[in-house]
Amino acid sequence: MGQFRNLYCNEITLLICFFGDIAIKFIFANTILRRIHHAKIQICYRRGNDLRN
């Protein structure tokens, strides 16, 4: 029984590590994308101002 419980815990730990890794990557990618998007908006806004002036 103890061995089975250890195996079960290991499976859960692996799942947590796996999904945790994915979650971290997803959050990280999300932040980078948001920053790029924000920078793009600023660049476009500046270009628009330059064209107007």
For the question of whether the overall pTM of this predicted structure is more than 0.85, the answer is no
Per the domain annotation, does 8 fall within a domain?
no
- Tokens 């029984």 belong to 1
Neighbours of 1 (CB within 10 A): 5
Please name which of 51, 50, 31 lies closest in space to residue 39, comparing C-alpha atoms: 31
Per the domain annotation, does 7 fall within a domain?
no
Domain of residue 40: give its range: 25-53
Per the domain annotation, does 10 fall within a domain?
no
Q: 4 vs 23, which has greater pLDDT?
A: 23
Per the domain annotation, does 47 fall within a domain?
yes
For the chain, the domain total comes to 1
Per the domain annotation, does 34 fall within a domain?
yes
Q: 30 vs 12, which has greater pLDDT?
A: 30
Per the domain annotation, does 40 fall within a domain?
yes
Per the domain annotation, does 6 fall within a domain?
no
- Tokens 């979650």 belong to 23
Per the domain annotation, does 31 fall within a domain?
yes
Handedness of CA 9, 13, 18, 23 (dihedral sign): positive
The overall average pLDDT reported for the chain is 82
pLDDT band at 3 (very low <50, low <70, confident <90, very high): low
Residue 13 has a pLDDT of 84
